[in-house]
Amino acid sequence: MSDTLQNIKTICKRELNGYFASPVAYVFIVIWLLLNGFFTFSLGGFFEMGQASLTMSFFRWHPWLYLFLVPAVGMRLWSEERRLHTLELLLTMPITPWQAIVGKFIASWLFLIIALALTFPVVITVCYLGDADVGEIFSGYVGSALLAGGYLAVTSMTSSMTRNQVISFIVSVVVCFFLLLAGFEPVTDLLPNSLVGIVTGLSSLTHFIAFQKGVIDSRDVIYFASLIGFTLFLNGVMIRNLRAG
């Protein structure tokens, strides 16, 4: 067990250092913070609402921002390894493909969580201007982190399918967009009543909305955990096939 954790930690540290060794990470964080500020205070109408809440002005935009930003972070996870032919070297190290997958995923997820945590000035602002519900804000952040993790796991899977990062990005956006639209009201209104429950149950948006409202439901946590686990499992199947080939 200790060797397994040590191998995952080594891969995680390697990937995380790789992010911050490149200016791309800082550019991403700046763009992320600017977009959050713009959507919260301009399009979100934070001041016009007159409420000390981030539900409608801040968190409501995260599923749409993550739709493009998360695939941009994760598209290189395996595509870059395949393009540079370093995947073979990685897989000849005394680690299992599963340890490499988990290590890479955790590193990228930590990077996204760091970027999310850097939005703390928004929380300070809303707490300063009014009596904010801290529990609701905390729940929103938990849901946002889980949503980012779900999108990232999908991107990690698509990244293992191709050595072209652009293709990985496009496929990831399409898959995540499908998960998002499955709970979008204009789409569910077109479905027969017998299918609405099934389709919305597959939607990342449906499960994220509960977190926005300050509710941490075990069913929503299980959904995101299942999404991450299933897509990383498929990721493992792809990597093992490459290794066998």
Higher pLDDT, 169 or 89: 169
pTM recorded for the entire structure? 0.91
Q: Say if CB 180 and CB 204 are below 8 A apart.
A: yes
Going by pLDDT thresholds of 50, 70 and 90, the confidence category of residue 81 is confident
Q: Is 91 helix (H, G, I), strand (E, B) or coil?
A: helix
202 pLDDT tier (thresholds 50, 70, 90): confident
Give the span between the Cα atoms of 177 and 64, in whole angstroms: 9
The distance of Cα 4 from the centroid of its chain, to the nearest Å, equals: 24
Selected residue with higher pLDDT from 152 and 198: 152
Query: Identity (one letter) of the amino acid at 162?
Result: T
pLDDT digit string (tens) for 92-124? Answer: 777 888 888 999 999 999 999 999 999 999 888
Residue 58's Cβ-count burial label (10 Å; 0-12, 13-18, 19+) is: buried
**Residue 191: its pLDDT value, please?**
67
- For residues 165-187, give the mean pLDDT: 87
Res. 50: pLDDT tops 80: no
A 10 A CB-CB count for 88 gives 11
Instruction: Check residue 142 and give its pLDDT.
Output: 96
Model confidence band, residue 243 (pLDDT cutoffs 50, 70, 90): low
How much of the chain exceeds pLDDT 70, in percent?
Answer: 92
d(CA 117, CA 221) in angstroms, rounded, equals 20
Number of Cβ within 10 Å of residue 111's Cβ equals 22
More confident residue, 65 or 52: 65
> Per-domain residue ranges for the chain?
2-244
pLDDT recorded at residue 139: 94
The yes-or-no verdict on residue 40 having pLDDT over 70 is yes
